[in-house]
Structure 1
Amino acid sequence: MAGKTQLKRMLNGEMYNSSDELLAAMRANARRLAEELNSTLYDKEKRTAILQKLLGKCGENIDIQSPFLCDYGCHIEVGDNFYANFNCIFLDCNYIRIGNNVFIAPNVQIYAAQHPVIAAERIKGPEMSAPVTIGDNVWIGGGSIICPGVTIGSNTTIGAGSVVVKNIPANVVAAGNPCRVIRELQ
């Protein structure tokens, strides 16, 4: 479709040009806010105010430890009682929607960003994205990687070091590379 912005293409999961002027400015703003967050001593009120500017949606009682890195910030939505431990990276080229009462351990990476798998297409430079959704009451163990397009159901625990490449249902413990259901929870 002619006239469709690169931002709209990105959020629609279509191939887009990340060097677009608007997208570059949005990333620069997110990096400025993340740098401000990461350089702030632990003053919860000040940090919450920065997160409210950085993130697209903030619930009540959110806490993200530094360092924290993201692409745009404005495509990240977190619910109430959200906690992310040290050194988390959220590549929010598409929406990353996280429910209430979610705990994320250190070194967790959530990727909405992806690239073409065919080398001839990839080297041309286009990028793609797919949203990530994490339900309520989820715990994601340290060092886990959540890949583009994945949904994790509510009340689920993802074991440390997992690589989540497919949807994980609600009410389970899942772990591994690739992440798979280990057992159901009552």
Structure 2
Amino acid sequence: MNEFEKMISGLTFDGADKGVSAVRDQATALQAILNQTVVDDLRTPLLRQLFKRFGEGSIVRPPFSCEFGQTVEIGDNTFMNMNVLMLDGASISIGNNVMIGPNTHFYTASHPMDYRQRRGWTTRCQPIVIEDDVWIGGNVAITQGITIGARSVIAANSVVTRDVKPDSLYGGCPAKFIRTLTENFD
């Protein structure tokens, strides 16, 4: 198993490995072009090259940042506002009809609490899943290993550290359950 495969499998990996660095460098080069391109029709082919999957009708507003790109899947009709950041050492899967506010950060990576292990830049990554029809407000941080259930809403300025059940409103730091969502708009 190579270092990139270890990374996406959630195992400890060498982030300075040449294979890992090659994927990272390719993503960085694509993003340099992507973030200078303002017309969505011109951005879409670049996004399809950057991501593992980029769905029909989806939009990513510049600037956008990720580390690898090839670990990200975005469904159909999803909108990501400006300044989204993805540390995508594990998969980030975003469903259909998702709205993501500006300055939202996705963190699949974590480091040991033991300072001696951190000295070696030890990293482990766990996936993030955003199910269909989710709305994530602006300035939200989503930590590793999280699933946000379908049709849920995450309030602006929240830090999501636990899974979110479908049809739920969560908010705060750390984000907590506020209430179950109903079909009306209150």
Unaligned runs of at least 5 residues, structure 1: none
Q: Residue in 1 aligned with 2:132?
A: 136
User: Within 2, Cα distance between the matches of 1:46 and 1:62?
Assistant: 13
Q: Residue in 2 aligned with 1:53?
A: 49
Q: Residue in 2 aligned with 1:6?
A: 3
User: How far apart are residue 73 of structure 1 and its match?
Assistant: 0.4
Output one character per residue of 1:106-146: Cα deviation in whole Å (capped at 9) or x when no partner. 00001111111211111122211000000000010100000
1:124 aligns to what SS in structure 2? Answer: coil
Q: Residue in 1 aligned with 2:35?
A: 38
Identity of aligned residues (%): 36
The one of 3, 20, 23 equivalent to 1:23 is 20
User: Within 2, Cα distance between the matches of 1:114 and 1:145?
Assistant: 14
Pairs aligned (count)? 182
The one of 132, 147, 151 equivalent to 1:151 is 147
User: Within 2, Cα distance between the matches of 1:120 and 1:154?
Assistant: 40
Residues 1:165 and 2:161 aligned together: yes
User: How far apart are residue 150 of structure 1 and its match?
Assistant: 0.4
What letter matches 2:34 in structure 1? L
Q: Residue in 1 aligned with 2:80?
A: 84
User: Within 1, Cα distance between the matches of 2:68 and 2:37?
Assistant: 19
User: How far apart are residue 12 of structure 1 and its match?
Assistant: 1.2
Equivalence map 1:102-117=2 (5 Å): 102-117=98-113
2:7 aligns to what SS in structure 1? Answer: helix
What letter matches 1:40 in structure 2? T
TM normalised by structure 1 equals 0.96
TM normalised by structure 2 equals 0.96
User: Within 2, Cα distance between the matches of 1:103 and 1:28?
Assistant: 28
Q: Residue in 2 aligned with 1:184?
A: 180
What letter matches 1:18 in structure 2? G
